[in-house]
């Protein structure tokens, strides 16, 4: 039973790697989604901080971060269409949106630091330092996303080095690699010549 589970896990992992080989851009996209989730799930703390600190541009920065995060996700999907080369103008726009998001985060953090000079942090205002931490983490995640986007070609080459071929138990010198669920029967490597039999 445990051996069957182990085989099932290995097969699921192999299919996952095969999927990443075909779409290595999914790695930075996942980081982008996580960054958005972290920010949106803590939006109440950030909004409360804006209301208490009430410095110029805080509300605008909050709006820009939320809006441009959504636009960046849409832009990412258009920049890397399935089974096609990346669309350069969309990639450039994606970089621009990410940099604007980081800039808005930095400005917002600066406004919080200005507010903390005159605002006393109490238990009722504990959300202010929490919002500051969230924004710092968000900046780091967005920067990691940008780096991963730039490294997509490198990630693709690294993933291609991972052996995802399947050895057939009846003939150990034959190996096949599933490139996709639709191509599960295609053999990409074999130890001898391919023989076909007709009934």
Q: What is the reported pLDDT for 185?
A: 43
Q: What is the reported pLDDT for 197?
A: 41
Q: What is the reported pLDDT for 101?
A: 96
Q: What is the reported pLDDT for 193?
A: 40
Q: What is the reported pLDDT for 7?
A: 67
Angle between helices 2-22 and 152-160 (to 10 degrees): 140
> What are the structure tokens assigned to 41, written together?
């799930």
| Beta-carbon contacts of residue 32 (< 8 Å; ≥ 6 apart) | 69, 72, 73, 76, 142, 145
Q: What is the reported pLDDT for 2?
A: 61
- The CB density around residue 14, as the number of other CB atoms within 10 Å, is 17
Task: Select from 29, 148, 142, 31 the least CA-distant residue to 96.
Answer: 142
Per-domain residue ranges of the chain = 23-150, 162-188
Q: How far apart are alpha carbons 143 and 122 in whole angstroms? A: 32
- What residue spans of 55-189 are helical by DSSP H? 58-79, 88-116, 127-150, 152-160
Residues β-bridged to residue 189:
175
Q: What is the reported pLDDT for 120?
A: 84
Q: Could you tell me if 143 and 159 are in contact, meaning their C-beta atoms sit under 8 angstroms apart?
A: no
Q: What is the reported pLDDT for 3?
A: 62
Q: What is the reported pLDDT for 117?
A: 86
Q: What is the reported pLDDT for 154?
A: 87
How do the pLDDT tens digits run along the chain, 199 residues long?
666 666 676 777 777 777 777 788 888 999 999 999 999 999 999 999 999 988 899 999 999 999 999 999 999 989 988 777 889 999 999 999 999 999 999 999 999 999 888 888 888 889 999 999 999 999 999 999 999 999 988 888 887 777 767 665 554 454 545 454 444 444 434 444 444 444 4
pTM higher than the cut 0.85: no
């Amino acid at each position: 039973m445990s051996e069957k589970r182990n085989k099932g896990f290995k097969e699921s992992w192999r299919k996952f790697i095969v999927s990443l080989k075909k779409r290595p851009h999914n790695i930075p996209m996942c980081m982008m989604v996580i960054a958005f989730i972290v920010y949106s799930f803590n939006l109440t703390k950030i909004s409360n901080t804006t209301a208490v600190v009430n410095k110029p541009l805080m509300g605008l920065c909050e709006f820009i971060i939320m809006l441009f995060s959504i636009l960046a996700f849409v832009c990412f999907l258009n920049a890397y269409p399935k089974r096609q080369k990346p669309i350069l103008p969309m990639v450039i726009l994606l970089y621009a949106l990410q940099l604007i998001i980081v800039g808005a985060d930095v400005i917002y953090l600066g406004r919080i630091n200005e507010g903390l000079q005159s605002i006393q942090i109490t238990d009722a205002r504990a959300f202010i330092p929490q919002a500051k931490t969230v924004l710092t983490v968000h900046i780091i995640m967005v920067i990691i996303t940008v780096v991963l986007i730039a490294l997509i070609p490198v990630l693709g080459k690294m993933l291609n080095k991972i052996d995802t071929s399947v050895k057939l138990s009846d003939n150990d010198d034959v190996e096949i690699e599933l490139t996709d669920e639709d191509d599960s029967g295609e053999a990409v490597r074999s130890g001898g010549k391919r023989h076909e039999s007709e009934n």
